[in-house]
Structure 1
Amino acid sequence: MSEVGTRKVLVTGGGTGIGRAVAEALLRAGGQVVVSGRRVEVLESLTTAWPGQAFALPCDLASLEAREGLLRRAAGLLGGLDGFVHSAGQVVHQPPGHIGEDALRAQLEVNLIAPLRLGEQALEVLEPGGAQVFIASTLATRPVVTSAVYSAAKAGLLQVMKVLALVGAARGVRASAVLPGVVETDMVREVRLAPGAGPLSEPEYARRQEAQLAGLRALHPLGRLGRPEDVAEAVRYLLGASWISGSELVLDGGLLLRE
């Protein structure tokens, strides 16, 4: 029998990247999963691969109306819910003086406000002994010059997680967070352009992309970027770890050891 917290789980951002890897890890372990995200086709590719075990709930988490009652809808599909993973995220790299208003508000909405509101829902919906896990980032503790908004949102998310852990303890509902270093996903492979830079030719984009990834790899003493599967296994562990709550688990290939 799988551990409580891993049996019936909602994963936001479950169509791609870390969220997809989390969903697949839970499914392989015999759990049932509801995946949520904006892109219906990628969600349905998972439900097609895991019929009767994976279910899709398309949702734009930036919309208050769309995310209202999301946890209860997921519980309705699975006949209950004992786990919640917030993996959906958005990052726009912009230095101070060039932070767009839309980018500012979108990152705060998806990376901080949405997980807070969904975490509140989870306190009411998750079965006793269940857990919620939030995907944060090492940028919450060590920002770079282009990550002011993203870092602030993820730092705030860590405090939200700890409050949810305190409140949920009365029902035995746990909350934790993982702080990955740089994980090779579509979001990380997107080339970071200087403010005002024009579009790049395809060969130049590919060259800049490889240089960017090589630079990011060099930041990690273990010599590689993280894989979504690395984070997924840590998330699955925290979901089922019955005596862990309020904890921050760093998975960063040694990144934070760098001066």
Structure 2
Amino acid sequence: MYENCLKGHSALVTGSARRLGRAVALELARAGADVIIHCNSSKAEAEAVKKEAIALGVDATVLSADFSVDGGAEGLIEAAFEVAPDLNLLVNSASVFPSNRLAEVTLGDINSNVLVNAWAPFVLSRSFAARAKSGSIVNMLDSRITDFDHSHAAYHMSKHMLALLTRLSAMEFAPSVAVNGVAPGLVLPPVDMDAKGGAADAQYLAGMASGLPLKKHGEPEDVAKAVLFLLASSFITGQIIYVDGGRHIRGGE
């Protein structure tokens, strides 16, 4: 159904050297889109994704930018339009996920989370919408926005901000640019978990999946396919799709 549906399109996917961003970049490449792979420090991994994308028959470029510093997001969008003047797809996937509970959160914690998880996507989206004649944006959210995450308070707040920005941007950037969100649930072990891979990851995922309505965990490709669906749609904006096995209807911790 989606084979070559993005042929002739160009996409910037932030945080696409690893994890969900990587899956999204490769899914878009399989659909025919040329991809710009963004990373901060994971340059070797980003180059590996670039190689995989090129093998799928599309153009691929790696750009580095640090969203935690002033001007990082602005520099990336400028560089992206230099590489692809016809850039018309943007996926805001990059994020940070530090552990902190509400009782110990500092202003610095909130600022550092908001800067990467909400401000950078906003800056990128605003600049993208101003320059693209038409296009589509997908923000990577988190199914935690429907419940609670006591261990990642600042992160949780920043994702709530991005969810609100998704709806505000959908109104502000219409009719030329559509803006939607995808909220993943249990598809990978947390980045801050000291997982050893293999059996340890499988055990963690299986244990957590038992509490979900669908009684199973997802895969990064499930999230990537939801992103592709939204980017390929011409009549959807302001929506958030939960790819979480039903966590958002069950409630969290």
- TM-score clears 0.5: yes
- Inter-partner Cα distance in structure 2 for 1:66 and 1:173: 23
User: What's the counterpart of residue 32 of structure 2?
Assistant: 30
- Inter-partner Cα distance in structure 2 for 1:138 and 1:179: 5
User: What's the counterpart of residue 85 of structure 1?
Assistant: 91
User: What's the counterpart of residue 199 of structure 1?
Assistant: none
- Inter-partner Cα distance in structure 1 for 2:24 and 2:126: 21
User: What's the counterpart of residue 7 of structure 1?
Assistant: 9
- Inter-partner Cα distance in structure 2 for 1:21 and 1:185: 15
* Coordinate RMSD, CA, aligned: 2.6
Deviations 1:58-84 (A, max 9, x none): 111212222214223212212310100
Residues 1:239 and 1:206: Cα distance change in structure 2 (over 3 Å): closer
User: What's the counterpart of residue 16 of structure 1?
Assistant: 18
* Corresponding residue SS for 2:87: coil
User: What's the counterpart of residue 173 of structure 1?
Assistant: 177
45, 50, 69: which one aligns with 1:42 = 45
CA deviation after TM superposition for structure 1 residue 50, in Å? 3.2
Find out whether 1:111 has 2:114 as its counterpart: no
- Inter-partner Cα distance in structure 2 for 1:151 and 1:43: 27
Asked whether the 8 Å contact 1:87–1:135 carries over to 2, the reply is yes
User: What's the counterpart of residue 243 of structure 1?
Assistant: 235
Aligned partner letter, 1:123:
A
Asked whether the 8 Å contact 2:182–2:242 carries over to 1, the reply is yes
Residues 1:5 and 1:116: Cα distance change in structure 2 (over 3 Å): farther
- Inter-partner Cα distance in structure 2 for 1:27 and 1:83: 12
Find out whether 1:150 has 2:142 as its counterpart: no
CA deviation after TM superposition for structure 1 residue 142, in Å? 0.8
Aligned partner letter, 2:29:
L
Query: Normalized against structure 2, the TM-score is what?
Result: 0.86
- Inter-partner Cα distance in structure 1 for 2:73 and 2:191: 23
CA deviation after TM superposition for structure 1 residue 230, in Å? 0.4
Asked whether the 8 Å contact 2:182–2:241 carries over to 1, the reply is yes
Q: How many residues align?
A: 245
**Range 56-65 or range 94-103, more displaced:** 94-103
CA deviation after TM superposition for structure 1 residue 256, in Å? 2.1
* Corresponding residue SS for 1:144: coil
Stretches of structure 2 lacking an aligned partner (at least 5 in a row): none
Higher relative contact order structure (alpha carbons within 8 Å, sequence separation ≥ 6): 1
- Inter-partner Cα distance in structure 2 for 1:118 and 1:54: 19
**Range 63-72 or range 233-242, more displaced:** 63-72
- Inter-partner Cα distance in structure 1 for 2:17 and 2:63: 11
**Range 5-14 or range 111-120, more displaced:** 5-14
CA deviation after TM superposition for structure 1 residue 225, in Å? 2.1
CA deviation after TM superposition for structure 1 residue 148, in Å? 2.0
Stretches of structure 1 lacking an aligned partner (at least 5 in a row): 193-201
User: What's the counterpart of residue 164 of structure 2?
Assistant: 159
Residues 1:71 and 1:108: Cα distance change in structure 2 (over 3 Å): same
Find out whether 1:231 has 2:223 as its counterpart: yes
CA deviation after TM superposition for structure 1 residue 121, in Å? 1.0
Deviations 1:134-168 (A, max 9, x none): 00011112112213212211111111111111111
* Corresponding residue SS for 1:10: strand
- Inter-partner Cα distance in structure 1 for 2:194 and 2:208: 12
Aligned partner letter, 2:91:
V
Deviations 1:160-195 (A, max 9, x none): 11111111114x21100011112215616x149xxx
**Percent identity over the alignment?**
27
